[in-house]
Amino acid sequence: MKSQSARRTMIRAAMAAPYLQREEEYDLAVRWKEQGDQEALHKITSAHMRLVISMASKFRHFGLAMSDLIQEGHVGLLEAAARFEPEREVRFSTYATWWIRASIQDYILRNWSIVRGGTSSAQKALFFNLRRLRARLSQGSESLSGTAMYREIATALKVSEGDVALMDSRLSGPDSSLNAPLIEDESGSADRQDFLVSDAPLPDEMVSTSIDDERRVTWLKSALDVLSERELKIIRERRLQDDGATLEALGTKLGISKERVRQIETRALEKLRIALLETNADRAAYVA
């Protein structure tokens, strides 16, 4: 009740504020910009609060509190006042409209759903215009629905049909908590998240894999010491790089034939295998 009373008081005050003539508005804007006159700022913003309320009322169907929308619109109004350039001879209301709308829309996008959406300008246009376009296309003798409707909306807003379908599904239903109970009986209860399937490995599997990888690296570094300088170079460039060098390329670099490179590589791999097994026979599973 208190919030509704406060909102009514604010609306009455906004409607009672006097309109500003063009010359008076210009003088107040100059005083605020050049002198930082707070009284001038107050008069400008008070005179345009009815514009904020009018703009906020256009977004009331998104289910957010009207008082919050008005408050965010007021933030946009103050931003407009801070950026307004009176020497351009544009009415303040014309300039402020964009900032008020942008502030309200940003607030709606941040608070309408727990899932953030509409991060690009095209997605924002889709979010705020989908309902209106859908209602218009579904009326009349040539009403559209389904894929045909999505195609028309996608063309009008310059987005993909998939984006239209996804946004339509989001706007059609509320958010659902993963902790909402789906089953409750004598044996216990189960939440929605209990039925989500993940393809990611279990934590113990991830730890085990990490430990095994570290062991392999340690063993390999130790085993590489048994190789000659040329064997080590061939193994590094052929086996230890993402894009291994070809036999022909290595042969050209070392001044030998590609067949000779293959023979040296084979011998080096065998030496590595023997070195690893001699260190610990239990590592056979890692050497194969």
Q: In sequence order, what DSSP letters do the residues of 265-284 get, joined into one string?
A: HHHHHHHHHHHHHHH-GGGH
User: Looking at the structure, do residues 101 and 1 belong to the same domain, yes or no?
Assistant: yes
User: Looking at the structure, do residues 50 and 82 belong to the same domain, yes or no?
Assistant: yes
Containing structural domain, residue 238: 203-287
User: Looking at the structure, do residues 146 and 224 belong to the same domain, yes or no?
Assistant: no
CB 150 within 8 A of CB 138: no
Could you say which of 112, 137, 154 is where a domain stops?
A: 112
Does a structural domain hold residue 192? Answer: no
Does a structural domain hold residue 179? Answer: no
Could you say which of 112, 130, 160 is where a domain stops?
A: 112
pLDDT exceeds 80 at position 4 = no
The CATH code of the domain that includes 85 is 1.20.120.1810
Q: How far is CA 116 from CA 113, 164, 165, 170, 176, in A?
A: 7, 16, 17, 11, 14
Q: What does the pLDDT look like over 129-176, one tens digit per residue? A: 666 777 776 676 556 667 777 777 777 777 777 777 777 666 666 656
User: Looking at the structure, do residues 214 and 133 belong to the same domain, yes or no?
Assistant: no
Q: What is the pTM of this model?
A: 0.50
Does a structural domain hold residue 178? Answer: no
Does a structural domain hold residue 182? Answer: no
Does a structural domain hold residue 27? Answer: yes
User: Looking at the structure, do residues 27 and 97 belong to the same domain, yes or no?
Assistant: yes
Q: What does the pLDDT look like over 175-197, one tens digit per residue? A: 566 677 766 666 656 777 777 77
User: Looking at the structure, do residues 120 and 101 belong to the same domain, yes or no?
Assistant: no
User: Looking at the structure, do residues 96 and 129 belong to the same domain, yes or no?
Assistant: no
User: Looking at the structure, do residues 58 and 76 belong to the same domain, yes or no?
Assistant: yes
Could you say which of 97, 112, 127 is where a domain stops?
A: 112
| Residue 243 amino acid letter | D
User: Looking at the structure, do residues 26 and 51 belong to the same domain, yes or no?
Assistant: yes
User: Looking at the structure, do residues 59 and 98 belong to the same domain, yes or no?
Assistant: yes
DSSP state letters, 205-244: HHHHHHHHHHHHHHHHHHHGGGS-HHHHHHHHHHHSSSSP
Contacts of 45 (CB under 8 A, 6+ apart): 74, 77, 78, 81
Does a structural domain hold residue 183? Answer: no
Find the length of the chain: 288
Does a structural domain hold residue 180? Answer: no
User: Looking at the structure, do residues 108 and 125 belong to the same domain, yes or no?
Assistant: no
User: Looking at the structure, do residues 276 and 224 belong to the same domain, yes or no?
Assistant: yes
Does a structural domain hold residue 193? Answer: no
What number is the average pLDDT over the span 81-99?
91
The CATH code of the domain that includes 279 is 1.10.10.10
Distance (Å, rounded) from C-alpha 49 to C-alpha 138? 36
Specify the number of domains making up the chain.
3
Q: What does the pLDDT look like over 235-245, one tens digit per residue? A: 888 888 888 88
CB 28 within 8 A of CB 40: yes
